[in-house]
Chain A
Amino acid sequence: MSIISKLFGKSPFEPLYRHMLKVKECVDLVRPLMDAFLKGEDRQVKEVASKIFKAEHDADMVKKDIRNNLPKSVFLPVARGDLLSFLKEQDKIADSAEDLAVLLTLRKTKVPEEFKEELKDFVERVIETYEVAMVVSSDIKVLAETSFSGVEAHKVMDLIEELKLKEWEADKAQMIVAKKMFAIEKKMNPVSVMMWMHIFNELGTLANHAENAGDRMRMMLHDS
């Protein structure tokens, strides 16, 4: 067997792209999940949740596969550590979606009319955030082709700036909905309050991980 062929390792960027697709499959289900939840359709919530679990598991498998194929002796066009931490953050987006799905199936929690609109707005902001993150991640193959530099890298950097902005908006929306909830705290069951705080947090975390994934991607880009 030729030594030249042994010199070439398995590219991590194709599987990274596949990982992104799985994570995307996962988070794309967050909207139907929240819709069903807001309408109080329990069965629908469970159905969507189980789809999320499946996609999250698939993403995990791809993640493991990438890690197992990246021994220290492999030389990459980006720092190995940066790549792995990007993978970790991208995977955490799916994890958050899964945790959210778990939360929503745990307990029947009715959505109070008082902050329904604010909640919808918050969810919309979170979705906008991870959608930008997915656009960033989906560029990984083209970035590898242009060795993470040049015009393409700048395009992605701009997207990452936009991502930060979206995450900030999601944060603001989270604050607003939380305030609205506490405004009616006397009317609410304390267990529901606890539940809502968890749900808000999980949604916020999802947006955070989306932003972090962008940050990690930023570390892989070169300015030249």
Chain B
Amino acid sequence: MDIHLFILILVISLLAAFYSAVNIGANDVANSMATSVASGALTIKKAVVVAAICNFIGAVLVGTHVANTIRKGLVDPMQFGDRPNLFLLGMLAAVLGSSLWVNLATYFKLPVSTTHSIIGGVLGFGLISVGFAGIQWKVVFYVVLSWFISPIFGGIIAFVLFSVIKKFILSSPEPIEQTRKIGPFFAGMVGFILALSVIYKGLKNLHLDLPFLEALIISLCIGLLCFFIGSVLLRKYKEREEDPYYQVEKMANPLQVLSAGFQAFSQGANDVANAIGPVAAIWAIIQTQRVENTVSVPIELLVLGGAGLAFGVYTWGYRVMETVGKKITSITPTRGFSAGFGTAATVLLCSRLGMPVSTTHVAVGNIIGVGLARGISAINLDVIKKIFLAWIISLPAAGLFTVVIYFILRLVFL
């Protein structure tokens, strides 16, 4: 292939990645922000701005790990050592195929996950090009396992967290006083985990990957800072002549917004890879003219993906929020905080482990976790069946789309 073709492919894949990022941002903003909007903690406008910023930062700071899994973890690029062009086209096909599938599924109102689709796409291409033995089945196994574990793991966090809130705040004779005492710990916890996940062995792109002890100390300081800010905010709250439980919910508003931002951050970290993972592979090949395993994901791509997410959140996400915010009325800030925190912590952990999980599924698992702690007045469990069905279909469907596009691309370019 000559250089013009390379550039053409790169441009197409960049466009496809950006488009895909915009889609992901628009569709997933509701996961993190819907509860804050529904409970009145944030207006739609503010929610969209917060989500866009947090998505972007998460994508740029922690986006590398999952991107690496997608670009080289499932199908080892070294197998294409002598034919890098095939790998190049395959990755392009994976981006296009999975995007096409997600669009089609969305049109038919199937709740598909972009994560499952991109994995399905990459696997489909791998199977058709290097065959069954060419796939890193161990990684695939861990990834699929994480799809089962992550919603359950998150659900357990949310369950425990809400049970703690219930026991120490909602069941107490002095719920407002208890909120003042316990609330700051929650704020500190969010700050600490968020900081640790970013600083410890993260931020390679900014050359800030600190060793454990230093990272721990800095994170503790940030956690303490959040503790004090929360403490001051809660102390400033003036009691009113109103049912104390409703006042507790009002006091929990800032906590919920904090956890929603945390969630958007971790969402950005995990989901940006769905858009730019394959492009990162293409980029590396074009840059070096051969298949390399060592180059890291360029920060430009993470910025592009993050910008795409933020753009999607800010534009189409606004409309999604308008419909969703009105529909959810049965969730209050204490519940929103529990579910949001559990989701964010789980997704961030998975991102750091390089596991591409579906943030939507984790969010669903967390909401059910709060529900099991008797925190939500009504949950439609039949939604779970639909979600499960959609993800079972996504893998082969996105794979098939990718394979078809792969053959077409081969005919055109080679």
Contact = CB atoms under 8 A, between A and B. Distances in A.
A76 B327 CA distance: 18
B141 to A, nearest CB: 26
Given A75-B378, A146-B170, A150-B172, A3 B330 contact: no
A68 interface: no
A74 B367 contact: no
B332 A3 contact: no
Nearest to A155: B173
B364 to A, nearest CB: 6
Interface size class of B (residues with CB under 8 A): 35 or more
A147 B375 contact: yes
B166 A147 contact: yes
Given A78-B374, A145-B249, A9 B323 contact: no
B contact patch SS:
helix
Interface string A132-154: 00000000001011111111100
B376 interface: yes
B330 A2 contact: no
A9 B382 CA distance: 11
A8 B171 contact: no
A224 B164 CA distance: 12
Given A5-B324, A8-B327, A150-B166, A76 B245 contact: no
In this complex, the member of A1, A7, A142 whose beta carbon has the largest number of chain B beta carbons within 10 angstroms is A7
A218 to B, nearest CB: 16
Nearest to A70: B378
B173 to A, nearest CB: 5
Given A8-B331, A148-B374, A152-B245, A74 B380 contact: yes
Interface in A32-86: 71, 73-78
A18 to B, nearest CB: 14
Contacts of A4: 30-31, 34, 324, 328, 360, 363-364, 367
Contacts of B377: 9, 11-13, 76-77, 144
A6 interface: yes
B245 A146 contact: yes
In this complex, the member of A5, A12, A78 whose beta carbon has the largest number of chain B beta carbons within 10 angstroms is A5
Given A74-B380, A147-B166, A8 B330 contact: yes
Contacts of A224: 167, 171
Interface in B29-57: 30-31, 34
A78 to B, nearest CB: 7
Contact of B383 (A7, A71, A146, A150): A7
Interface string B204-217: 00000000000000
A148 B31 CA distance: 27
B392 interface: no
Interface size class of A (residues with CB under 8 A): 20 to 34
B109 interface: yes
A142 B329 CA distance: 15
B328 A9 contact: no
Contacts of A8: 327-331, 367, 376, 378-380
Contacts of B246: 145
In this complex, the member of B27, B170, B378, B381 whose beta carbon has the largest number of chain A beta carbons within 10 angstroms is B378
In this complex, the member of A1, A8, A13, A145 whose beta carbon has the largest number of chain B beta carbons within 10 angstroms is A8
Contact of B379 (A74, A78, A147, A152): A74
A10 interface: yes
B393 interface: no
Contacts of A75: 368, 371, 378-381
B111 interface: yes
Given A3-B364, A147-B373, A74 B378 contact: yes
Interface in B87-119: 109, 111
A9 B378 contact: yes
Contacts of B381: 73-75
8 contacts: A2-B30, A4-B367, A9-B330, A76-B377, A76-B379, A144-B377, A149-B170, A150-B171
Sort A-B residue pairs by CB-CB distance and give the 8 closest, nearest first.
A150-B171, A9-B378, A77-B374, A11-B377, A2-B30, A147-B374, A73-B382, A3-B111
